[in-house]
Structure 1
Amino acid sequence: MALVFFPIISFAQNDTIILKNKDRVIGEIKDLTKGVLTVETSYSDSDFKIEWLNIKQIISDRNFLITLSNGERLNSTFIANPKDSAQVTINNNGKEVQLALAEVTFIKTAAKDNFFSRFKASLSVGYNFTKSQNLSQFTVRSTMEYTANNWSLSGAYNSVRSKQTNVEELQRSDGNITFKDYLKKNWYALASADFLSNEEQKLKLRTTLKGGIGKYFVYTNKKYFGAGTGLAWNNERFNDSLQTNRNSLEAFIGLELNLFDFEDISLLSKVTAYPSLTESNRIRTDFSTDFKYDLPLDFFLKLGITYNFDSKPVEGASKDDYIIQTTFGWELD
Structure 2
Amino acid sequence: MTIILEDGSSKQFQLNELIALVEVNELFWKRFTGSLDLGYNFTRANENAQFTFSGNLKFVSEKWQIKSNIDVLNSSQDNVKDVKRTNAILETKRLLPKKMVFVNRCFLSIKHRAGTIRKDQPQFRFRQIHKKHE
The normalised TM-score by structure 2 is 0.70
Question: Given residue 117 of structure 1, which amino acid in structure 2 is its aligned partner?
Answer: K
Which residue is 1:15 aligned to?
none
TM-aligned CA distance change 1:182 to 1:98, over 3 Å? closer
Separation in 2 of the partners of 1:189 and 1:152?
A: 10
Please say if 1:195 is aligned against 2:114: no
Separation in 2 of the partners of 1:154 and 1:188?
A: 15
Q: Spell out the pairing of 1:290-305 with structure 2 (5 A cutoff).
A: none
More strand by share: 1
Separation in 1 of the partners of 2:95 and 2:86?
A: 29
Which residue is 2:34 aligned to?
121
TM-aligned CA distance change 1:98 to 1:126, over 3 Å? same
TM-aligned CA distance change 1:121 to 1:208, over 3 Å? same
Which residue is 1:287 aligned to?
none
CA apart distance, 1:142: 1.9
> Any unmatched runs of 5+ in structure 1?
1-67, 69-75, 80-88, 91-96, 216-333
Can you list the C-alpha shifts for 1:55-79, whole angstroms capped at 9, x where unaligned? xxxxxxxxxxxxx7xxxxxxx6442
- Asked whether the 8 Å contact 2:105–2:129 carries over to 1, the reply is yes
CA apart distance, 1:141: 2.7
Question: Given residue 135 of structure 1, which amino acid in structure 2 is its aligned partner?
Answer: N
Please say if 1:165 is aligned against 2:81: no
Question: Given residue 53 of structure 2, which amino acid in structure 1 is its aligned partner?
Answer: V
TM-aligned CA distance change 1:129 to 1:147, over 3 Å? same
Which residue is 1:150 aligned to?
63
Separation in 2 of the partners of 1:214 and 1:197?
A: 30
Separation in 2 of the partners of 1:206 and 1:108?
A: 34
CA apart distance, 1:167: 3.8
CA apart distance, 1:185: 5.7
Separation in 2 of the partners of 1:162 and 1:138?
A: 6
The SS at the match of 1:209 is strand
How many residues in Structure 1 have an aligned counterpart in Structure 2? Answer: 120
Which residue is 1:176 aligned to?
89
Larger Rg: 1
TM-aligned CA distance change 1:109 to 1:159, over 3 Å? closer
The two structures, once aligned, show a CA RMSD in angstroms of: 3.0
The normalised TM-score by structure 1 is 0.31
Question: Given residue 191 of structure 1, which amino acid in structure 2 is its aligned partner?
Answer: N
> Any unmatched runs of 5+ in structure 2?
none
The SS at the match of 2:24 is strand
CA apart distance, 1:105: 2.2
Separation in 2 of the partners of 1:78 and 1:107?
A: 15
